Amino acid sequence: MAAMGRRKKDSDQAGPGAGEENEPNNRKRALIFCILAMPALIGFYALVLYWSNPRTPGEELRIDEFATLLRQGRIQETKILETDSRMIGNYDGGEYWVAYSADNETIFARLTSALEDAGVPYSVQQQPLKNLVTPVSLLLPALIVINGLFILFLALGRGGDGFTAFGKTRGKRAESGDAKITFSDVAGLDEAMEELVEVRDYLASPDRFSAMGASVPKGILLTGPPGCGKTLLARGLAGESDVPFFSISGSDFVEIFVGVGAARIRDFFKVAKAAAPCIVFIDELDAVGRGRSTHSMGGTDEREATLNQLLVEMDGFESGSGVVVLAATNRPDILDSALMRPGRFDRRVAIERPDVNGREAILGIHTRGKPTADNVDTSQVAKRTAGFSGADLANVVNEAALLAARRGATVIEQHHFTEAIERLMVGPERKSRILSPQDRHRIAYHEAGHAVVATSLPGTDRVGKLSIVARGHAGGFTWWINDGDQLSVTRSQLLDRIAALMGGRAAEELATGEMSSGAMSDLDSAMLLAQRMVTEFGMSARLGPFSVKPLQNAAMKEGMLAQGFSERIASEIDREVQDVLTEAADRARDVLVSQRSVLDAVAQALMETETLEGEVLDALLLPVTKPGATPAQVGI
């Protein structure tokens, strides 16, 4: 008995593992059985069709011929085959058979009446086996189709899920220690990292928080521009946490078939609750959490059903404890309000582009393990990359490494980083593009105009480099260097920046007497700044402190587009923007006229050397005088 008990206990302990190991074998055996059954079903169906086809000996007679023979008394006997719809028998010429339509009762009645009038004996032969042909001929094709679907799902279905594979979750599970990225690989996101460290510590030692009556947030939403490290933070939490970590994309829940998205949500949280305490990460939450509208049709109903199921799973009657939901999106403005309330996402962590210290720390991580020269100063690279995200900085380091390898260098030097930044901001050099003397003269004055106007006005950034070497789609470029990160800009600074953008166009007009299409990108940038000043920043004398951005949230909730302002306001905006641009162009022209000697010197040096930077450029721009601060109300 003891031995039997031990064997039973051992089998119970090995049961789940053995079942999981046998599952692929069972799937393989089922696939082989379905494949072997397919030719058998097809063969049996062909045999049934062959057997159901009527086969009778003798000569075929038409109905009129059969009626004539009856009148002549030449028919000796007749037998009616019920299922085959035929009459067979003998006449003075041998055996015969006549086909008639079983659906036409008139013909059948006329034939039987003719037999009775002629006094020919006849009988009806029943065919019970052939009565099964019709249901079998309908059943066998259905079985063949079903068997083919089983073969398809067994061969291509995920893990043998078969028909239920559509409703199964596509989430990936990472056990403790599986992830290769930890918080030590994340930089520039110290505040956001503290929020996630708290979740990690709570799941590792919940008693310490429970003693204070604290509970971990049910949901944490990471928001910010693309490439700033939202997914990287989640991967770092997966590497740091001692609990199972599930990750999935919001688009994995979306499906064209009705009910599939909600089924995947249920299955995903069912698996997560079984492994609680755990962390689930939903990337690109806006794919499934977009706000609901009152005008839902077609596929929108399926998306809203998926969202409703997500709302229930996160905070409903059956919501379980121990599951922390971590989500990331760069479109928090379009998420449904029910999804954003406390109890579902209790905490929102805003992740912005890193500042200069954050960029330097990120560069330090990406240059780790790469052969860099001793003269590489990551702080200078960080200052030159204002506004870059973490993904952009990773691209800068990788591009610098590619440049060093392409040119046969053994280490990555400072100039490789500088050129990598230029390539990413403007484009690669087009040295094969040969400029005509007229274009060379015009582009040199264009870039020199930017530099002189920017140096003259106090609200602009410092000019770090000028070049007339074509890069990307640009014939030349002016590189402004930010002295530091700014959280906000004043109205006078924006007006100075717009004037600096107009400096190239004004310099071309002064030097050549006419304008060219080369200032197209400058006009686009200047117009965008002017529009934002008037419509978003409230820097307008006519409109005052009034924001006229389109009503995006209201439009989505109502399922329609909304401009957010009247035609009169739109006309005022156009007049304001036009006034700002015109005044900026006049200011740029006035500066260049007063500094014409410096403009000519910079343009001449640029035509000779093609590139100006560093001390040489600073010396050329040193004579530029600053007229003073921008007036409080210019052109408005």
Render 372-419 in DSSP notation, one character per residue. Answer: B-TT--HHHHHHHTTT--HHHHHHHHHHHHHHHHHTT-SSB-HHHHHH
Please determine, for residue 300, whether its predicted confidence score (pLDDT) is greater than 60: no
Q: How far is CA 446 from CA 76, 178, 623, in A?
A: 115, 55, 19
DSSP tag of 184: G
**Beta-strand relationship, 347-350 and 219-223:** parallel
The angle that helices 491-512 and 596-609 make with each other, rounded to 10 degrees, is: 70
* Coil, strand or helix at 353: coil
Task: Please report the pLDDT score of residue 498 as a whole number.
Answer: 93
Band (398; pLDDT cuts 50, 70, 90): very high
46 is written with which tokens? Answer: 């062909």
Q: Are 109 and 80 in contact (CB under 8 A)?
A: no
Instruction: Judge if the upstream peptide bond of residue 277 is cis by omega within 30 degrees of 0.
Output: yes
Whether the pLDDT of residue 438 is over 70: the answer is yes
| Parts of the chain belonging to CATH 3.30.720.210 | 23-165
Residue limits of CATH 3.40.50.300 in the chain: 172-350
Q: What is the mean pLDDT of residues 378-390?
A: 85
Check residues 127 and 344 and name the one with the higher pLDDT.
344
* 520-551 residue pLDDT tens: 888 999 999 998 888 888 888 777 787 776 54
Quickly name the fold that domain 172-350 has. Answer: Rossmann fold (3.40.50)
Residue 589 has pLDDT above 90, yes or no: yes
CATH code for the part of the protein at 356-425 = 1.10.8.60
- Is-catalytic flag, 59? no
Residue of 313, 396, 304 whose CA lies nearest to 359: 396
Taking alpha carbons only, the member of 234, 261, 235 closest to residue 250 is 261
Predicted TM-score (pTM) above 0.75: no
Q: Which of 513, 521, 490 is nearest to 634 (CA)?
A: 490
23-165, which class in CATH? alpha beta
Distance between first and last Cα of the chain: 100
pLDDT band at 583 (very low <50, low <70, confident <90, very high): very high
- Three-state secondary-structure class, residue 542: coil
Of the options 1.10.3330.10, 1.20.58.760, 1.10.8.590, 2.40.50.140, the CATH number for the domain spanning 437-621: 1.20.58.760
pLDDT of residue 558 exceeding 50, the answer is: no
- Pick the more confident residue, 590 or 117: 590
Residue ranges in 457-519 assigned as alpha helix (H): 491-512
CA 149 to chain centre: 30
Listed in order, the ranges of the chain carrying CATH 1.20.58.760 are: 437-621
Residue of 447, 508, 572, 576 marked active site: 447
Does the structure show a pLDDT above 50 at 467? Answer: yes
Do residues 591 and 455 make contact, with C-beta atoms less than 8 angstroms apart? no
What is the tens place of the pLDDT at every residue in 36-51? 888 888 888 788 777 7
What single-letter amino acid sits at 402? L
Confidence at residue 431, expressed as pLDDT on a 0 to 100 scale? 65
Q: Which of 28, 7, 107, 95 is nearest to 59 (CA)?
A: 95
Res. 164: pLDDT tops 50: no
**pLDDT of residue 402 exceeding 50:** yes
CA 484, chain centre distance (Å):
34
Angle between helices 260-274 and 299-314 (to 10 degrees): 20
Cβ distance 455 to 463 under 8 Å? yes
